[in-house]
Amino acid sequence: MNIKIALINPNTTKSMTSRMHKAASPLLSDKVDLVSLTAPYGASSIEGFYDEIFAVPPMIEVLQPLAAEIDGVVVGCFDDTGVDALRTILDVPVIGICQAAMHAASIVSHKFTIITTLNCSVPAIENLVTRYGFDKMCSGVRAAEIPVLDLESNTTDAIEYISKKIEQALSQDGADAIVLGCAGMVDLTRDLTNKFNVPVIDGVGVAVKTIEGLVSMQITTSKIAGYAPPRVKYYSGVLERFSPSQN
Amino acid sequence: MNIKIALINPNTTKSMTSRMHKAASPLLSDKVDLVSLTAPYGASSIEGFYDEIFAVPPMIEVLQPLAAEIDGVVVGCFDDTGVDALRTILDVPVIGICQAAMHAASIVSHKFTIITTLNCSVPAIENLVTRYGFDKMCSGVRAAEIPVLDLESNTTDAIEYISKKIEQALSQDGADAIVLGCAGMVDLTRDLTNKFNVPVIDGVGVAVKTIEGLVSMQITTSKIAGYAPPRVKYYSGVLERFSPSQN
Amino acid sequence: MNIKIALINPNTTKSMTSRMHKAASPLLSDKVDLVSLTAPYGASSIEGFYDEIFAVPPMIEVLQPLAAEIDGVVVGCFDDTGVDALRTILDVPVIGICQAAMHAASIVSHKFTIITTLNCSVPAIENLVTRYGFDKMCSGVRAAEIPVLDLESNTTDAIEYISKKIEQALSQDGADAIVLGCAGMVDLTRDLTNKFNVPVIDGVGVAVKTIEGLVSMQITTSKIAGYAPPRVKYYSGVLERFSPSQN
Amino acid sequence: MNIKIALINPNTTKSMTSRMHKAASPLLSDKVDLVSLTAPYGASSIEGFYDEIFAVPPMIEVLQPLAAEIDGVVVGCFDDTGVDALRTILDVPVIGICQAAMHAASIVSHKFTIITTLNCSVPAIENLVTRYGFDKMCSGVRAAEIPVLDLESNTTDAIEYISKKIEQALSQDGADAIVLGCAGMVDLTRDLTNKFNVPVIDGVGVAVKTIEGLVSMQITTSKIAGYAPPRVKYYSGVLERFSPSQN
Amino acid sequence: MNIKIALINPNTTKSMTSRMHKAASPLLSDKVDLVSLTAPYGASSIEGFYDEIFAVPPMIEVLQPLAAEIDGVVVGCFDDTGVDALRTILDVPVIGICQAAMHAASIVSHKFTIITTLNCSVPAIENLVTRYGFDKMCSGVRAAEIPVLDLESNTTDAIEYISKKIEQALSQDGADAIVLGCAGMVDLTRDLTNKFNVPVIDGVGVAVKTIEGLVSMQITTSKIAGYAPPRVKYYSGVLERFSPSQN
Amino acid sequence: MNIKIALINPNTTKSMTSRMHKAASPLLSDKVDLVSLTAPYGASSIEGFYDEIFAVPPMIEVLQPLAAEIDGVVVGCFDDTGVDALRTILDVPVIGICQAAMHAASIVSHKFTIITTLNCSVPAIENLVTRYGFDKMCSGVRAAEIPVLDLESNTTDAIEYISKKIEQALSQDGADAIVLGCAGMVDLTRDLTNKFNVPVIDGVGVAVKTIEGLVSMQITTSKIAGYAPPRVKYYSGVLERFSPSQN
């Protein structure tokens, strides 16, 4: 059996997709194909509650036609944007990189702090911390105050700003691990781990391997409660093509 | 000063908007105008995580042009769909009927059970219970197993199914109040209150009065954290018209 | 229908009652009468657990005779003193300004810090934060170290001390809104909002409007659990006149 | 050193005080005097939020004059009525029988259910469960629907009603211990323990022994936060004699 | 790079180790070696708090000599026995099958119930639910009342007893997934999944794949807090050979 | 009736046992015998998760033969090592000094900070805080960075290091009481209480008095759930002598 995992970047920045793909590829077992996809339209970065909402339709438009051929999905955005909706239209397991990263951190540390990009993203992440059960294990969410796309264009500053927040996390929060709270930070994992000598975790790789695991075991999404297929109905107007129909 | 409150129904069912409007109107003070709006396109009812996502763009499209003239917004859907996104693009206060109803219930009772329509909506509501802090006060979320639109077409059955769940809530959950977990139940409040002699709360009226109160006091949405205006950026493709721009 | 709301100040300082009345009056709709009452005897300010207890009998003595003519009650003390007891003897809705203010703050912000007067009041307020479900949304309770009555006599100092705490709340707690944790601060709301450009919320106005809303909707206090009328019994001695009797 | 512990029954039913005294006396070490006191005026039983409030002034009136000669205080009412206020006016340790009983239960079991008298007392007890930190260990609060004073007059029925609730607790709640949620049940401990062969815990004895322990170790109430002495002030009118004064 | 994962069964029942090995083997990528180990001495099954304690020394004795050659460890017991201690003596990631299974369940469902063997194991598992943050997602822990070793000898009865509990979980707990709470149930996963058409999750496979993932990403255990290497010291007597020494 | 309480020090340092015995002895009532026991083999101090595990077998070996003659047990280590296991093999009540100290602190303060020895012990203690329900009352766990045995050899430094942490707890954590988080600090209680004028609580005395209380009341450990006697089974190899057998 071959396993095909879709890694979807909900923003339109293809270079970010490439970097995620490059980070996750070496981790996969031979029987796994990683298909990395980029939102075909929409925002070039997801920063806060508003961007989040509009990140979902392009993901659905890309993934629904692939439903028959993919075995699992990773949403490559730390807000876990659209994960709940995707779980309803797919039978295969779906995970976001935030949930995945927190699972990993909870295995190798007692407490972790999340370093994200901008202050405006902190509340959404704090809501996820509570939602996923990590209120006690998460010792803080700190913003490095660097916009998502600057992570690409200005790696030197990014490392410096993020490092400052890691220092605060270790000295003030009681954290013994760090979670990088943005898909755009995926390249920095190794350097920051070496610099601080604590686990520095990016969710992309963890998420892909988690899905590989669930698929291997044929664990699929429960269809008897909130993740049941959307009830068939007609969406009028420009949303017509998103109308949930009989599969 | 006159106050203009927008009550937006995120689904396209105009009769539901009318019923909400009719329920809320008599409650308002003289200086308040209630502008009731219906999603111009999209789904005729919001049932579960998938419908929720697509309910937001039409609301934004309707409300953004009105930003300068409205003083507050009520989202007339018990999933509080899109409330976070609306709070970012508007300075005025925004509330969903779920949060409003739970606030009211927590004032007049010790514990309340929420009766919603379908099982597929329970998880989204349970997530809101936690998000808004009512884990201890909410004694359960029960589905009457009646689709949203049947609430209109078949009131007799609706009352019967909902009554059965209220009986269970009172006898098994320790609830001393009931929250009706769907905007479509707004007409049933009075009958069910009389029948069971406990507070039966619909969020529509509460939400409208809450917004009236906040506006009177000139309390607006905080703009320094998660509800800051969306960062200006270009959304490509069919989403272009939703691109956050400088106000 | 006309609505009559009683705003009861559980301390004997009439000027404080006046200031609360003045703050709340302009907010009311035409059909609402606000009857502001002052404790006829007892303490001139409520500061801590001991004062709280003795603040309740005068409130009951004032309100019980008015039971037939009032439609709702606001307790104008941030400890929400006596609210539970008043809910048992009245059918109409009763709220304290602490619960009201936290409801408002949770609508317009992600996290709020409460600034109260004295350190000795912090524990009682922290207990209410937990009781009302705001453990995650409340980012701290800070004391400005200014006694309640000094808020009246020395507004300049009050603003300075409170401002210092607001600065700490915004820079250290991650708060994006402020709740003023004493009825005596009601006059400072507007100035502090302007100064800090974040929502600064006093509970008096919110509470009055919340009650107006509940009364409009004919939502009354549940009588089947903890807020059932007190069981009829004889209180001996000086408490005789407080004996719960058949209505 | 001799230790003098005051056990105060906040209701006026002297036979209940006697039964509490009789239950606790055999447990004390030789150097301990147990002074059992009955509220000199007020209610003959404490049932719900209203009775609670009026139970405090008589306790304060009895205990304050004894402040210099007593070493610790037990409040013999499962609502832990007035405990916070008493902690402010006394330096010596003060405990209520609810907190004491839950401490004991958490040592000898994994989960306990509390059986109290009437439904109207359940909410107050549930609030205490949260306040004291036992949300996870307390598997339920059940009312036997027997008024407090009937526990004295009709022991046979009391045992039968309480036994029915214990059976439910063991079979449905997953409880492996029972806490008796009313001082009036103190006599039933032994019989019910034998009948059900699980720990059945009354708080009176535990509370007295806990205070004995704290006093032996010279552990006194912290005076730097919420339990600081009440600020000196004048209470007007009938409350004058309760005015907090310089000690 | 080849990855060597140790799956340690802390009890001495080799057939259980074999069944776990057989279940996990097909899931692994080519570059992974799974070394399955059985406790060389001790108990034939781990049932409750007492057995747990004695399950740890044999695991340590087996794993410490392999420290240099293994890349990660799975503890094949649902109590996650000894996981904390193993994390201190190994730099490589260590997980128990309870934590792993709950992570998986939280991805594919809204709420899960755990079905374990005996009532005496429920409290230890409930403690883990809280420890790992799944209080809200875990809808119950139910005992099938079948001893661990009977799972092997009497599969027919096991399936029947477990099925009965699954039925209760789905109809009464609101669960939409099931976690099998004993390593000995590993063989039943597929049959029960098919029978109930909801995710039925055994932790063995998930744990092994989780470790494979963490190792691929070179994520190791944090050594700056609770999982720091044990301080070097001499253990006297029969424990001498367990003395933590300089590596 | 005479009461015999075993105080077991799970490490081999006899001087620490002596100091605990000396601290607890004066507190006991005449009818109580305190038998202080030292682990006959194992580690000289318990510091972190690894030491904890190996501290349990010697305690069991010492206590099991005494089961018939002792009435209660105190585990004199702040990690409450082995308490769950001991509760299964004994019918009499068993408490650790961590749980006991937190119970005491919650009676005389609003919030307490725990000062322990080394950073590596903080996570285990934080887990206990959650386990016992003190998440809200415990305002922090701070390490004085002094190894356990240095508490004996270098009291001057110990007091200085611990004092610095107490200062931080009072000024930064909002604590109004201190819990000493290591049995080796038992001698410092009085001095630190006097120095800081807040309750400084060591668990040894509290634990012994708590057990005295439970025994006086004939409250024993529940045997119907997690603390049921270990199921009879054969432990092979060096663990044979620990095999749970029929009593």
Nearest-CA residue of chain F relative to E56? Answer: F53
**Predicted pLDDT at F141:** 98
Q: How far is CA F105 from CA D90, F108, F139, in A?
A: 16, 5, 12
Give, for D12, the enclosing helix (H) or strand (E). Answer: none
Strands (E), chain C: 3-9, 32-38, 72-75, 94-96, 112-116, 138-143, 177-180, 200-202
| Chain B neighbours, 3+ Cβ pairs < 8 A | A, C, D, E
Cβ-Cβ contacts under 8 Å for B5 (sequence gap 6 or more):
B28, B32, B33, B34, B35, B70, B71, B72, B73, B74, B208, B211, B212, B215
Cα–Cα distances in Å, from B142 out to B98, B168, E176, E228, F41?
A: 14, 9, 15, 47, 57
Closest CA to D129 of D144, D112, D143: D112
- Which of the residues A219, A220, A223 would you substitute to probe the E interface, choosing the one with the greatest number of E C-beta atoms within 10 Å? A219
Q: Which part of chain F has CATH 3.40.50.12500?
A: 3-97+205-242, 98-202
Give domain C98-204's CATH number out of 3.40.50.1820, 3.40.190.10, 3.40.50.12500, 3.30.470.20.
Answer: 3.40.50.12500
Distance separating alpha carbons of residues F235 and F247, to the nearest angstrom: 16
Is there a contact between C49 and D147 if contact means CB atoms under 8 Å apart? no
- Cβ within 8 Å of residue E101, ≥6 positions away: E78, E179, E180, E181, E201, E202, E203, E206, E207
**CB D106 within 8 Å of CB D137:** yes
Question: How many CB atoms are located within 10 Å of the residue A143 CB?
Answer: 20
Q: Alpha-carbon distance C137 to C143, whole Å?
A: 18
The alpha carbon of residue D76 and the mean position of all alpha carbons in its chain are separated, in whole angstroms, by 4
Q: How crowded is residue C153: how many other Cβ atoms within 10 Å of its Cβ?
A: 10
CB contact under 8 A, A205 and E197: no
How far is Cα of residue C178 from the mean position of the Cα atoms in its chain? 16
Q: Do F123 and A110 touch (CB under 8 A)?
A: yes
Q: Tell me the torsion sign for CA atoms F182, F185, F186, F189.
A: negative
CB F120 within 8 A of CB F146: no
C-alpha F5/C-alpha F205 separation (Å) is 12
What is the arithmetic mean of pLDDT over A138-150? 94
Among chain F residues, CA nearest to D80: F107
Q: Please give, rounded to a whole number of angstroms, the shortest distance from the CA of A206 to a CA of chain E.
A: 6
pLDDT of residue D133: 97
The crossing angle, in degrees rounded to 10, of helices E203-216 and E14-24 is 60
Is the pLDDT assigned to residue C64 strictly greater than 90?
yes
- Average pLDDT over chain C reads 96
Structure tokens at F180: 């000493």
Show which subunits contact C, needing at least 3 CB pairs below 8 angstroms: A, B, D, F
Q: Which residues pair with F75 in a beta bridge?
A: F8, F96
Q: List chain A residues with CB under 8 Å of B242.
A: 54
Best residue of D106, D110, D170 to probe chain E, by most E CBs closer than 10 Å? D110
Kindly tell me if the per-residue pLDDT of D195 is higher than 90: yes
Mean pLDDT of C219-224: 98
Q: What is the DSSP string of B35-96?
A: EEEE-SSB-SS--SHHHHHHTHHHHHHHHGGGTTT-SEEEE-STT-TTHHHHHHH-SS-EEE
Closest CA relative to residue F67, chosen from F210, F229, F216: F229
Of residues E43 and C155, which shows the higher confidence score? E43
Contact F234, F243 (CB under 8 A): yes
What is the second-level CATH architecture of the domain D3-96+205-242? 3-Layer(aba) Sandwich (3.40)
Nearest C-alpha neighbor of E8 from the set E86, E102, E105, E115: E86
**Rounded Cα distance, E135 and E140, in Å:** 9
Contacts of A92 in chain E (CB under 8 A): none
Q: What is the phi/psi pair of residue D31, to 5°?
A: -85, 10
The reported pLDDT for the residue numbered F153 is 84
- Residue contact C136–A130, C-beta within 8 A: yes
According to DSSP, residue E146 is labeled: -
Residues carrying CATH 3.40.50.12500, chain B: 3-96+205-242, 98-203
CB pairs under 8 A between E and F: 151
3-class SS of residue A236 = strand
A and D adjacent (3 or more CB pairs under 8 angstroms): no
| Whether C and B touch (3+ CB pairs < 8 Å), yes or no | yes
Least Cα distance to F8 among F92, F81, F69 occurs for F81
Q: Are strands F200-202 and F177-180 parallel, antiparallel or unpaired?
A: parallel
C-alpha neighbours within 13 Å on the C-beta side of residue F80: 24
Is pLDDT at B247 greater than 70 in this prediction?
no
Of D107, D100, D113, D124, nearest to D163 by C-alpha is D113
Q: Phi and psi of D175, rounded to 5°?
A: -70, 140
Which helix (H) or strand (E) is E84 found in, with range?
helix E83-89
What mean pLDDT value characterizes chain B? 96
Does the pLDDT value for residue A246 go beyond 80? no
Q: Specify the domain boundaries for CATH 3.40.50.12500 within chain A.
A: 3-96+206-242, 98-204
Give the distance from residue F174's alpha carbon to the nearest chain D alpha carbon, in angstroms: 8
Q: Give φ, ψ of A38 to 5 degrees.
A: -120, 140
Cβ proximity of E52 and E31 under 8 Å: no
SS3 for E200?
strand
Q: What is the pLDDT of residues B189-232, one digit of tens each?
A: 999 999 999 999 999 999 999 999 999 999 999 999 999 999 99
- CB proximity list for E153: less than 8 A, separation 6 or greater: none
Which one of D122, D129, D173 makes the best mutation probe of the B interface by having the most chain B beta carbons within 10 Å?
D122
Question: Residue A70 carries which side chain, given as an amino acid letter?
Answer: I
Write out chain A residues lying below 8 Å of F123, CB-based. Answer: 110-111
Name the token pair of E174. 């609101």
pLDDT digit string (tens) for B2-36?
999 999 999 999 999 999 999 999 999 889 999 99
Total Cβ atoms within 10 A of residue B65: 9
Instruction: Report whether pLDDT(D247) > 80.
Output: no
Suggest the residue from C122, C130, C145, C172 to mutate for an interface test with chain F (most F CBs closer than 10 A): C122
Tens digits of residue pLDDT in E95-120:
999 999 999 999 999 999 999 999 99
User: What is the sign of the dihedral through the CA atoms of C93, C98, C99 and C102?
Assistant: positive
Q: Which of B110, B112, B135 to mutate to test the interface with D (most CBs of D within 10 A)?
A: B110
User: If pLDDT is split at 50, 70 and 90, which confidence band does C156 have?
Assistant: confident
- Does the structure show a pLDDT above 70 at C1? no
Q: How far apart are CA C225 and CA B204, in angstroms?
A: 26
Between CA F148 and CA F19 the distance in angstroms is 14
Q: What is the pLDDT of residues D62-83, one digit of tens each?
A: 999 999 999 999 999 999 999 9
pLDDT at E1: 61
Q: Locate tokens 């001799």: which residue?
A: D2
Between the alpha carbon of residue B31 and those of residues B9, B211, B216, F226, the distances in Å are: 22, 13, 10, 63
Domain E3-97+205-242 has CATH 3.40.630.30: no
* Residue ranges of chain F with per-residue pLDDT less than 50: none
Inter-chain touch D123–B136, beta carbons under 8 Å = no
The chain B residues in contact with chain D (CB within 8 A) are: 110-111, 136, 174
pLDDT of residue D153: 84
What residues in E contact F47, CB-CB < 8 Å?
A: 230-231
Cα–Cα distance measured from residue B224 to residue A131, given in angstroms and rounded to the nearest whole number:
23
Question: Which secondary structure element, helix H or strand E, spans residue E96, and what is its range?
Answer: strand E94-96
Query: What crossing angle do the helices spanning B155-168 and B189-196 adopt, rounded to 10°?
Result: 40
Which three-class secondary structure string do you get for F89-148?
A: HCCCCEEEHHHHHHHHHHHHCCCEEEEECCHHHHHHHHHHHHHHCCCCCEEEEEECCCCC
pLDDT of residue A1: 62
C130 → closest Cβ in F111, F136, F174: F136
List every span in chain C annotated with CATH 3.40.50.12500. Answer: 3-96+205-242, 98-204
Phi–psi pair at B200, nearest 5 degrees: -115, 115
Residue of C nearest to A123 (CA): C110
Query: E35: part of which helix (H) or strand (E)?
Result: strand E32-38
Cα within 13 Å of Cα(C41), Cβ side:
12
pLDDT, mean of residues B139-143: 98
Note whether D12 contacts C236, CB cutoff 8 Å. Answer: yes
Interface partners of E (3+ CB pairs, < 8 Å)?
Answer: A, B, D, F
Q: Which whole number is the average pLDDT over C202-206?
A: 97
Q: What is the pLDDT of residues E212-232, one digit of tens each?
A: 999 999 999 999 999 999 999
How far apart CA A221 and CA B218 sit, in angstroms, is: 46
Q: Is the dihedral of CA A7, A10, A14, A20 positive or negative?
A: negative
Calpha distance B232→A27 (Å, rounded): 36
Average pLDDT over residues E27-53: 95
Q: Is A188 exposed, middle or buried (0-12, 13-18, 19+ CB in 10 A)?
A: buried
Query: With respect to CATH, is domain F98-202 assigned 3.40.50.12500?
Result: yes
Residues in F touching D24 (Cβ below 8 Å) = none
What pLDDT was estimated at residue F247? 59
In E, which residues are within 8 Å of B130 by CB distance?
Answer: 136
Nearest one of D84, D94, D116, D87 to D202, comparing CA atoms: D116
Higher pLDDT, A167 or C29: A167
Chain B residue with the nearest C-alpha to that of E175: B123
| pLDDT at F152 (0 to 100) | 82
Question: If you write DSSP's letter for every residue of C121-156 in order, what string do you get?
Answer: GHHHHHHHHHHHT-TTTEEEEEE----TTHHHH-HH
| Chain A: residue whose CA lies nearest to F129 | A136
Closest residue by Cα to residue E115 from E162, E170, E52, E172: E162
Q: Give the CATH number of domain A3-96+206-242.
A: 3.40.50.12500
Secondary structure class of A237 (helix, strand, coil): helix
- The ipTM estimated for the assembled molecules is 0.96
What CATH number should be reported for the domain whose range is E98-203?
3.40.50.12500
Helix (H, G, I), strand (E, B) or coil at E138: strand
